Amino acid sequence: MKNISQNSTIPPICTCQLESWGLIFVEGPDAASFLQNQLTNSILGLDRTLTPHLAKTNSAVRLVGYCNPKGRLIASAWTALYSVNETNDDRFALFISKDIAASIAKRLSMYVLRSKVKVIDASADWSVSGLYGTNADIEKYELGSDEIGLLLPSVLLGQEAHARGLIAAPKSNEPQKDTGELKMWNYLEVMSAIPRIVLATQEQFVPQMINFESVAGIDFKKGCYPGQEIVARSQYRGAIKRRLQLAHFIDQPKASVNIAPGVELLHASDASQPAGMVVLSAQSPLDANRIDLQIECKLEALEDGEIHLGDINGPVLKIDPLPYPLIEI
């Protein structure tokens, strides 16, 4: 592996396989209008990305949510527009948590009806990798002829910006060579404070409860989609009393602490009901004893007292600043 800059603490361009990520293709002449009616964000007018380029900027990459009729998120995904090679038809790729990919593809298929759309869960046939490194070098990164990919928002750690991307390629018999660490990828995802829905957190959050509107995951000017009325009401009536926060704790050596998504948080003043839950978590690559988390938490629980992870005797969480301003509701 070649070092791009000996003076930079940002790693060179690195890739690592993401076993927890899957891929859904939605393709066909009506794919754009179909997805427009299903997702929280607008996908009409997305720039088409052609090989060997990565999709980049908001004109080509969108964070999207998929809600149930009650306005609760059942999925989140990063999407970009590509082409089906043989026909040049629209092909939207949804990079999504693998543990929900099959059920979401099935649910989307239920609403195709007479539309000229095909929904394909490609998670078994395509592998997803994470890409990270310096902004300048990842901007110039080129994909292989059978790969697709997109850039995610950079993560600022200290004074340095760490660029990130997602790449998908058809699986082959050749083993993939990882040049980076999964620990770093997971850490950057957590520190971005951009949530990802997994099986354990399905139907737990109205989008604004995990800052979806503040990370450009909702378009309030687009047309209807499942749960749209409730999402809009939450925005304009100021009904959100919970938010996504960044937090951390220092793990004790050899301690067994459950940090998985969905683990509950308890406030010291009221152990009878949860104050929130873990959204994502990662061990810090900079400190072997530090665990960083995205948590969804009651705003009143942040005012005073201690928030514990897992149970009232669990680790006390320290709340950290978000890397972006919240859109006030």
The single residue listed with the structure tokens 């080509």 is: 60
Of 24-28, 87-91, 102-106, 185-189, least confident by mean pLDDT is 87-91
Residue type, position 321, single letter: P
- Options 3.30.1360.120, 1.20.120.610, 3.40.50.1000, 1.10.10.10; which CATH number does 10-239 get? 3.30.1360.120
The residues, any chain, with a CB within 8 Å of residue 40's CB and separated by 6 or more, are 64, 65, 66, 67, 207, 212, 217, 218, 219, 225, 228, 231
Of 292, 289, 268, which Cα lies nearest the Cα of 278? Answer: 292
Query: How many percent of the chain have pLDDT more than 70?
Result: 93
Does residue 5 register a pLDDT over 60?
no
Query: In which region does residue 203 sit, left (phi positive, over 0), alpha (psi from -120 to 50) or beta (all else)?
Result: left
> Which tops the pLDDT comparison, 288 or 216?
216
Does residue 175 register a pLDDT over 70?
no
Does residue 8 register a pLDDT over 50?
no
User: pLDDT confidence of 1, banded at 50, 70, 90?
Assistant: very low
Rounded to whole angstroms, how far apart are CA atoms 243 and 282?
19
Rounded to whole angstroms, how far apart are CA atoms 234 and 212?
12
**Are the C-beta atoms of residues 40 and 77 closer than 8 Å to each other?**
no
pLDDT at 174: 60
Report in angstroms the alpha-carbon separations of 277 from 164, 239, 246, 263, 284.
26, 19, 12, 5, 20
Report in angstroms the alpha-carbon separations of 137 from 62, 164, 178, 227.
22, 11, 18, 40
Angle at 176 between CA 174 and CA 181, to 5 degrees: 165
- Token code pair at residue 218: 């909702």
Does residue 3 register a pLDDT over 60?
no
β-pairing, 148-157 vs 264-267, is unpaired
Of 114, 46, 50, 109, which Cα lies nearest the Cα of 84? Answer: 50
Backbone Cα Rg of the chain? 20
- Range of 134-138, 197-201, 255-259 with top mean pLDDT: 197-201
User: pLDDT confidence of 199, banded at 50, 70, 90?
Assistant: very high
pLDDT at 140: 83
pLDDT by residue (tens digit) across 236-250? 887 789 999 999 999
If you average pLDDT over every residue of the chain, what do you get?
91
Report in angstroms the alpha-carbon separations of 80 from 44, 77, 252, 315.
11, 10, 42, 39
pLDDT at 10: 60
Is the pTM above the cut of 0.85? Answer: yes
**Are the C-beta atoms of residues 262 and 296 closer than 8 Å to each other?**
no
The domain locations on the chain are 10-239, 241-320
pLDDT by residue (tens digit) across 39-98? 999 999 999 999 899 999 999 999 999 999 999 999 999 999 998 876 678 999 999 999
Rounded to whole angstroms, how far apart are CA atoms 69 and 222?
17
Query: How many percent of the chain have pLDDT more than 90?
Result: 79
Task: Name the CATH superfamily, with its identifier, for domain 241-320.
Answer: Aminomethyltransferase beta-barrel domains (2.40.30.110)
**Torsion 85-136-284-279 (CA) sign:** negative
**H-state helical runs in the chain:** 31-36, 98-110, 135-139, 182-191, 228-236
Rounded to whole angstroms, how far apart are CA atoms 189 and 198?
14
